[in-house]
Structure 1
Amino acid sequence: MNRKTLFKLVNDLVMTILMLVGMAYYITGNMVHEVVGVVVLSLFIIHNFLNRRWYKAIFKGKFHVRRVIQIVINLLFLVTMALMIISAVLISSDLFPFIPIDNDMTLRQIHVQTAYWGFIIMSIHIGLSWAMIMGSVRRMTGITGTSRIRTIMLRVLAVLIVAYGVQSSFERDMGSKLFFYNPFGWSYDNSTVRFLIDHLSIMGIYISGTHYALKVVQNQEKQEGRKNKSENLLQANIKVKG
């Protein structure tokens, strides 16, 4: 693995972890929350700079199902992050207190809800690249061959993570947080470990769901490609015989 790829993976991993830390507002407090937000903004800018070629090629090539989904999710993630960051700066009370805002209730609602939507979209974004991430991890660890036992164990682990993630989603009212704003805050606990485990498992739902949904789409596209190829060969043979 080259240094650029490794740097991109580390940058994305740190950004993901810090986004989770940023969501733990009631555990970290406001000052830490705002500092983490500034660092996430810096890492997000670096992420987009390192992937700037993707933006240049966005209107080039064929628009198959996987690529359309990827474009939509990436652009949604960009818009969501932009709204979250702009609203964060405007309602800041520690790092940017000099910005005068008379009524910040709407901005707080935008900030909180885009943070939760960004969390979900980020998970889907990771799921779209999960095969590439796993490929990079295999190269880093020197795993070259396939193992049926390892595959089964990883899939069982994925099922357990998703099952726990579904339970955590209900316990933490994720559905309500995505669509409703509570100015008095939501119920929470002070356990950092429990917070991280719950939210990582919720991420697991969307990462796994996206990854395996893409597998289904890709298999269907391959089958259609083989079918079209067979039909073209048949038509070509008919023309030759004719």
Structure 2
Amino acid sequence: MNRTMLFRLVNDLVMTVLMLIAMAYYITGNMIHEVVGVVVLVLFIAHNFFNRRWYKAILKGKHNFRRILQIGLNLLFLVAMVVMMICGILISSDIFPFIPVNNDMIFRQIHVQSAYWGFIIMAVHIGLSWGMIINSVRRMTGITGTSRIRTIALRILAVLIVAYGVHSSFEGEMGSKLFIYNPFGWFNDDSTIRFLIDHLSIMGIYVVGTHYALKFIQKQEKRTVQKN
């Protein structure tokens, strides 16, 4: 694996973790939340810089179901992140307190809900690229062969993550967070570790679901081609 690819993977991994930490507002406090947000902004700009060729190739080549889905989700993720960050800067009270904003509750609502939608879209985005991520990790660790036991173990782990993620979604009222804004937040007394585990498992639902849905679609497409 070349250095550029390694840097991109590390950049995306750190950005994902920091986005989760930024969502733990009532655990970290406002100052840390804003500092983490600024770092995420820098990493997000770096992410788009390293993927700038993707934007140039949007209208080129064939557009099958997977590519259309990927383009749509990537653009939605871009919009959600840009909206979230602009609103975050406008309502900032520690890093950008000099920006005068009237009626900031509207911007707070947009900031919070775009963050949760961005969280879900990000998970689906990772799911679309999960095969590539796994292959990169295999090359980096030197794993070249296949193992039935390893495959079964990883699939059992995926099922457990999804099951716990569904439980965490209902317990944390994720559906309400996506559609209903609570100006007093969604505070609970969970530890930071519990918060991260819960939200990583919720991400797991969409990562695993997207990955295996794509594998199913690809198998169906191959069968259709073979029949024709």
Please say whether Structure 1 and Structure 2 have the same fold, judged by a TM-score greater than 0.5: yes
Conserved 8 A contact 2:25-2:33 = yes
Which residue in the other structure is 1:15 paired with?
Answer: 15
Q: Percent identity?
A: 76
Say whether 1:101 aligns with 2:101: yes
Paired with 2:124 and 2:49, the residues of 1 have a C-alpha distance of 20
1:6 corresponds to which residue?
A: 6
User: Are 1:188 and 2:188 counterparts?
Assistant: yes
Deviation sequence 1:133-174 (CA, Å, 0-9, x none): 000111111110000000000000000000000000001000
| Displacement after TM superposition at 1:222 (Å) | 1.3
SS in 2 for 1:16: helix
Partner of 1:27: 27
- Cα deviation digits, residues 37-63 of structure 1 (max 9, x gap): 000000000000000110000001111
User: What is aligned with 1:225?
Assistant: 225
Please say if 1:65 is aligned against 2:83.
Answer: no
Tell me the equivalent position of 1:92.
Answer: 92
Aligned to 1:238: none
- In structure 2, what is the equivalent of residue 154 of structure 1? 154
SS at match of 1:102: coil
Aligned to 2:167: 167
Contact 2:26 2:187 in 1 (8 A): no
Q: Which runs of 5+ in 2 are unaligned?
A: none
Per the TM alignment, residue 187 of structure 1 is displaced from its structure 2 partner at its CA by 3.4
- CA deviation after TM superposition for structure 1 residue 103, in Å: 0.6
**Alignment-mate amino acid for residue 65 of structure 1:** F
Distance 2:188 2:122 in 1: 22
Provide the rounded CA distance (Å) in 1 between the counterparts of 2:35 and 2:225.
50
Distance in 2 between residues matched to 1:102 and 1:61, nearest whole Å: 46
Alpha-carbon deviation of 1:190?
4.0
> How do 1:30-49 and structure 2 match up within 5 A?
30-49=30-49
Which digits, 9 at most, give the CA deviation of each residue in 1:195-242, with x for residues without a partner? Answer: 0000000000000000000001111111222233xxxxxxxxxxxxxx
Q: How far apart are the structure 1 equivalents of 2:84 and 2:18?
A: 15
For 1:143 and 1:201, the matched residues in 2 are separated by: 25
Structure 1 residue 67: deviation in Å? 0.4
Cα distance in 2, alignment partners of residues 82 and 136 from structure 1: 28
Indicate the residue corresponding to 1:54 in structure 2: 54
Partner of 2:177: 177
Tell me the amino acid that sits aligned with residue 62 of structure 1.
K
* Separation in 2, partners of 1:207, 1:157: 13
Q: Partner letter of residue 106 of structure 1?
A: I
Alpha-carbon distance between aligned partners in 1 of 2:65 and 2:116, rounded to the nearest angstrom: 26
2:189 and 2:66 map into 1 onto residues whose CA distance is 39
- Cα separation, 1, equivalents of 2:61 and 2:226: 20
* Consecutive unaligned residues in structure 1, runs of 5 or more: 229-242
Q: Distance in 1 between matches of 2:49 and 2:28?
A: 29
Shift of the alpha carbon at 1:184?
1.4
2:16 and 2:102 map into 1 onto residues whose CA distance is 32
TM-score, with length taken from structure 2: 0.99
Aligned to 2:203: 203
